[in-house]
Chains A and B, each alone.
Chain A
Amino acid sequence: MVLKQLKNHPALRLLEWWLLFLAALLPLAWISWQAWSFALGADPAKEITDYLGQWALYLLWGSLAITPLRQALGWTRLQRFRRMIGLYALFYATAHLLAFGTFIIGWRWDLLQTALTERTYIIVGALALLLLIPLGITSTKGWQRRLKKRWTQLHQLVYPISLLVLLHVVWLIRDSYFDAFLYGSLLGWMLGYRVWRRLQRRLRRSASLSS
């Protein structure tokens, strides 16, 4: 009883929020420090860009893991961090794009243009980021109230977005399928779980109707 009160103490909840908020900035701090101290080897541009993209993926996958973890394992405490994790995914995806534009192509518009018209992996990646932006903007409580049922529909865009991100990763492969296998199976599990839940619910509903 006392423990439960303590666990829900506003100060603890605030502390948790701040800890996560700062922890999610650590990858950015780490890679900046590495770049600053010339520890990234011959091609820091590529290292930074890849690293930021990877963290965008981890966080997007993380935001998608919260619902199954809550429903299947009862980890309800994570729920209130879903928005922050999703926003951080958008943050790192944007940083990934900025790193690509600045460090890889030096904002040469001719290079950007060929990248966005000819490189299929870049096209799907850019599309994923573009679709993530309205989700970030409408992530506030105000927009949630305003959009009502539409809000859920809009935010289900995260499923096709995650598939675009996976495609972005798969099309980047030169030799090793390990990353694609890892991220693909995690995503398959998280999306498969949702489909399965929905089917169960539908079955239960039709069973209760017929009885």
Chain B
Amino acid sequence: MLIKKPDLIRPSEITPQSAYLNRRQFMQGLAGTAAFAASASALALPVPQFDKGLPVYTGPDWLQQQLRAGVSNKALSTDEKIAPYQHAIRHNNFYEFGTGKGDPAKNAQDFITDPWSVQVSGEVNRPGTIGLEDLIKPHQLEERIVRLRCVEAWSMVLPFVGVSLATLLKQFEPTSKAKYVEFTTLNDPKQMPGQRSVFSSLDWPYVEALRMDEAMHPLAFMAVGMYGNALPPQNGAPLRLVLPWKYGFKWVKSIVGIRFTENMPATTWNKMAAQEYGFFANVNPAVSHPRWSQATERRLPSSLFRPNIIDTQPFNGYGDEVAHLYSDMDLKKWF
């Protein structure tokens, strides 16, 4: 059914005017994407400056060169305040390196991310293993400042650098049978202490997936950097998803596998607790997790005595862009 009866439209789906105006900006942004090459030199990313004593992640030379030639995508960026660098690199959920927020920063520093390759398989015309440099080199890198909303009801604003996911996936030529795309994190218990833990209830490797139309949406993004530099290992180096309208656990880190499938793949958190973690995991203040109300979130960093509590927006505030992907779905059922 393409046309909805008015009584089927929930009040939450009706677009507020402010958001409607934003959509215009968004469409202009898409037009801007095409004009990147022309304006690249004017918008090139500056060499990042960090406080002394903080670790800096420059990445391999080819990546550093490409980062410096990157441009800022203002149209797909929020103008909210970016989280301080030292918090972004030390507050991580990356259970392969431990379940504490500080564990990945402690345990991932020797993680080898160069050389790196990705295996592409499934319903594609061009399957095979591709080196990271070959995968990224052909593309202009862009910076997007996005909201990361964790299912644990905290959020951060982060500047990622990367490539639109659609651009990246199209080069493998998915066939008409490709309805879903699955992303897999490296499985290497030698390097990843969390994968050795006998107390973990997750199945390794970590797998999350998207429907093809979600993956091809302009907001879906594959990051290779953040804060103008390479991705730190604790933040999912060298390759991670950025899906601003979905909870953070969908943003697969340290990706080694991309598989196109006809059927909905089984995903890590959904397999562990289907009633807690849906396949879609779109940010939705109306659907609570058993442990966290999703109606509000704590934007980090926050003052101790005046916690920065804000109302969570449907689709994390990206509803105007993505809500149409789910227009025929009951979002309470398909959470």
User: Does any Cβ of B come within 8 Å of A172's Cβ?
Assistant: yes
B295 surroundings in chain A (CB, below 8 A): 114
Q: Say how far A45's CB is from chain B's closest CB, in angstroms.
A: 6
Contact B199 A177 (CB under 8 A): yes
Q: Using an 8 Å CB-CB cutoff, how does the interface string of B285-328 with A read, 1 for contact, 0 for none? A: 00010111101101011101111010000000000000000000
A120 surroundings in chain B (CB, below 8 A): 290
Docked complex: A98-153 residues within 8 A CB-CB of B: 102-106, 108, 111, 114-115, 118-121
User: Does any Cβ of B come within 8 Å of A41's Cβ?
Assistant: yes
User: Does any Cβ of B come within 8 Å of A30's Cβ?
Assistant: no
How far apart sit A178 and B95, CA to CA, in the bound complex (Å)? 14
User: Does any Cβ of B come within 8 Å of A174's Cβ?
Assistant: yes
Interface extent on B, as a size class? 20 to 34
How far apart sit A183 and B199, CA to CA, in the bound complex (Å)? 14
Docked complex: A165-185 residues within 8 A CB-CB of B: 171-178, 181
A176 surroundings in chain B (CB, below 8 A): 99, 197, 199-201
Contact B87 A115 (CB under 8 A): no
How far apart sit A175 and B88, CA to CA, in the bound complex (Å)? 22
User: Does any Cβ of A come within 8 Å of B156's Cβ?
Assistant: yes
User: Does any Cβ of B come within 8 Å of A44's Cβ?
Assistant: yes
Assuming the contacts A106-B306, A114-B295, asked whether A43 and B91 have C-beta atoms less than 8 A apart, the reply is yes
How far apart sit A111 and B290, CA to CA, in the bound complex (Å)? 15
B154 surroundings in chain A (CB, below 8 A): 43, 46
Contact B301 A43 (CB under 8 A): yes
Q: Say how far A110's CB is from chain B's closest CB, in angstroms.
A: 9
User: Does any Cβ of A come within 8 Å of B218's Cβ?
Assistant: no
Q: Which of A46, A105, A172, A174 has the most CB of B within 10 A?
A: A174
How far apart sit A118 and B288, CA to CA, in the bound complex (Å)? 9
Contact B201 A175 (CB under 8 A): yes
Docked complex: A6-33 residues within 8 A CB-CB of B: none
User: Does any Cβ of B come within 8 Å of A35's Cβ?
Assistant: yes
User: Does any Cβ of B come within 8 Å of A42's Cβ?
Assistant: yes
A175 surroundings in chain B (CB, below 8 A): 95, 99, 200-202, 272
How far apart sit A176 and B200, CA to CA, in the bound complex (Å)? 4
Q: Say how far B123's CB is from chain A's closest CB, in angstroms.
A: 31
Count of chain A residues with a beta carbon within 8 Å of a chain B beta carbon: 30
Q: Using an 8 Å CB-CB cutoff, how does the interface string of B144-168 with A read, 1 for contact, 0 for none? A: 0000000010101000000000000
Assuming the contacts A43-B91, A43-B154, asked whether A171 and B298 have C-beta atoms less than 8 A apart, the reply is no
User: Does any Cβ of A come within 8 Å of B178's Cβ?
Assistant: no
User: Does any Cβ of A come within 8 Å of B90's Cβ?
Assistant: yes
How far apart sit A121 and B298, CA to CA, in the bound complex (Å)? 19
Assuming the contacts A35-B304, A42-B83, asked whether A181 and B199 have C-beta atoms less than 8 A apart, the reply is yes
B309 surroundings in chain A (CB, below 8 A): 105-106, 108, 111
A115 to chain B: closest residue by CB: B293
Contact A43 B101 (CB under 8 A): yes
Q: Using an 8 Å CB-CB cutoff, how does the interface string of B53-97 with A read, 1 for contact, 0 for none? A: 000000000000000000000000000000100011011000100
A173 surroundings in chain B (CB, below 8 A): 201
User: Does any Cβ of A come within 8 Å of B102's Cβ?
Assistant: yes
Contact B304 A41 (CB under 8 A): no
B288 to chain A: closest residue by CB: A118
How far apart sit A111 and B171, CA to CA, in the bound complex (Å)? 47
How far apart sit A181 and B200, CA to CA, in the bound complex (Å)? 11
Contact B102 A41 (CB under 8 A): yes
Q: Using an 8 Å CB-CB cutoff, how does the interface string of B257-295 with A read, 1 for contact, 0 for none? A: 000000000000000100000000000000010111101
Contact A45 B304 (CB under 8 A): yes
How far apart sit A157 and B95, CA to CA, in the bound complex (Å)? 37
Contact B201 A177 (CB under 8 A): yes
Contact B291 A45 (CB under 8 A): no
How far apart sit A164 and B333, CA to CA, in the bound complex (Å)? 31
Contact B293 A114 (CB under 8 A): yes
Q: Say how far A89's CB is from chain B's closest CB, in angstroms.
A: 24
Q: Say how far A208's CB is from chain B's closest CB, in angstroms.
A: 46
Q: Say how far A34's CB is from chain B's closest CB, in angstroms.
A: 12
Q: Say how far B284's CB is from chain A's closest CB, in angstroms.
A: 15
A174 surroundings in chain B (CB, below 8 A): 99, 152, 291
**Selected A-B contacts with CB under 8 Å, 19 pairs:** A35-B304, A41-B102, A42-B90, A42-B156, A42-B300, A42-B301, A43-B298, A45-B298, A46-B101, A106-B307, A111-B296, A114-B293, A118-B288, A118-B293, A119-B290, A175-B99, A175-B200, A176-B99, A177-B200
4 more A-B contacts (CB under 8 A) besides A120-B290, A175-B202, A176-B199?
A: A104-B307, A108-B309, A171-B291, A175-B99
Binding site for A on B (CB under 8 A): 83, 87-88, 90-91, 95, 99, 101-102, 152, 154, 156, 197, 199-202, 272, 288, 290-293, 295-296, 298, 300-302, 304-307, 309
Shortest Cβ-Cβ A-B pairs, 10 listed: A42-B87, A42-B91, A178-B199, A106-B307, A177-B199, A176-B99, A42-B300, A176-B199, A114-B293, A42-B301
